[in-house]
Chains A and B, each alone.
Chain A
Amino acid sequence: MEIKILFTILISTIFINNYVLSRILGICPYLGVSKKLDSAVGMGLAVIFVMTMASFFTFIIYKFVLIPFHIEYLRTIAFIIVIASLVQLVEMVIEKISPALYQALGIFLPLITTNCAVLGVAVLNIDSGFITQEFGLLNSVVQGFGAGVGFTLALLLMAGIRERLEIAMVPENLKGLPITFITAGLMAMAFLGFSGMKIF
């Protein structure tokens, strides 16, 4: 039974409610890092990691710190601090392991902190009522992981298209952001096709 629920959460966060193309979260990094396929891969992996960890830690903090002390209204501050420290950690690890990737990600690594998709998944984990469920922690971690995978999927698709767009004949005024937005709109339309999907 539990596996079924987890699978449903995973599929719905990746495809049906894709964080970028359906919920419209995390547009800044989506547009900023999707120019090249390699940096998109790095960014995607970093986001998957941060989102999964953030779901885990924010859930624990909400359940065992904020609720017992009746300070649920402080969740925005608490969550953003957790996410900021996580991002700092990821940044240090990537700088040590792969300086090339660190160079490529540039400004967008610290910007994961202000990636609304990460805070979004933390807030949505609370809002979707996982907190009272028996396996709430597992559910929210899976939702965080799925959100990261969905973000990476959208980012990679976009990076592939944008690499092609570089050599395509685009009208002068549509070059850059406008054509990217229209492409994103077409992709969102394609993802709209998942919305009627029934899993079980």
Chain B
Amino acid sequence: MDYFKEFFKGVWQKNPILVLGIGMCPTLAVTTSASNAIWMATATTFVLLGSNILVSTIRTIVPSHVRIPIFITIIASFVIIVELTLKAFQPDVYKALGIFIPLIVVNCIILGRAEEFASKNSVVHSILDALGMGVGFGLTLFILATAREILGANKFFGYTLIPGMKPAILMILAPGAFFTLGLLLWAMNVIKSRKARFKRTE
């Protein structure tokens, strides 16, 4: 039960994007299509998992005043693994995500989880935390990307939905990203306040 909680908190209660509000750059920039979002989420989850495992393994021997450089070096190594793997096996994905692959290094989610969770908890807990955060991140990305791809390109996973319809290109450009995330956060707030009101009346 405890393990389940550790996993699930990243998906909903402490969702990195919708609740903690971190890791916004890749969220906004790569959600132009659903497949991009899934690749980005996979890559980030891999790095998150790797760094969480390694950081929690060495957490007792790392001197606290040099921990940040050590964490960043660990994260950067995993990012290079992802970068080279994608370049070799999925060159199209590598091209589509472009600069945002090396930028996984500076995704606040990964350093944030290493600092806040993995450096204080056991390996098993850190793995579950990483997976939960990854899934929460991925789900949010997928929702955003689906909305933007359908509205902005009239496509879903690259397949045209309604032939002949002109899409609202704005949604696939930068403003669409901001609008979609703003509306998603608004919806999240509405759900939260409804829940709170429901509890009060009970």
Contact = CB atoms under 8 A, between A and B. Distances in A.
Interface of A: 21-28, 31, 73-77, 80-81, 84, 110-111, 113-116, 118-120, 123-124, 127, 172-174, 176-182, 184-186, 188-189, 191-192
- Name the 10 nearest CB pairs between A and B, nearest first: A181-B182, A185-B178, A27-B24, A178-B186, A173-B189, A188-B175, A24-B29, A182-B182, A185-B179, A77-B76
Contacts, number: 122
A77 B175 contact: no
A189 B189 contact: no
Contacts of B158: none
Interface residues of B, number: 42
Interface of B: 21-25, 28-29, 68-69, 72-73, 76-77, 79-80, 83-84, 98-99, 102-103, 105-108, 111, 170, 173-179, 181-183, 185-186, 189-190, 193
A119 B102 contact: yes
B182 A77 contact: no
Contact of B21 (A31, A172, A179, A192): A31
Contact of A185 (B73, B175, B185): B175
Given A24-B29, A80-B106, A127-B99, A185 B173 contact: no
Contact of A76 (B22, B23, B76, B186): B76
Contacts of B28: 24, 27
B112 to A, nearest CB: 9
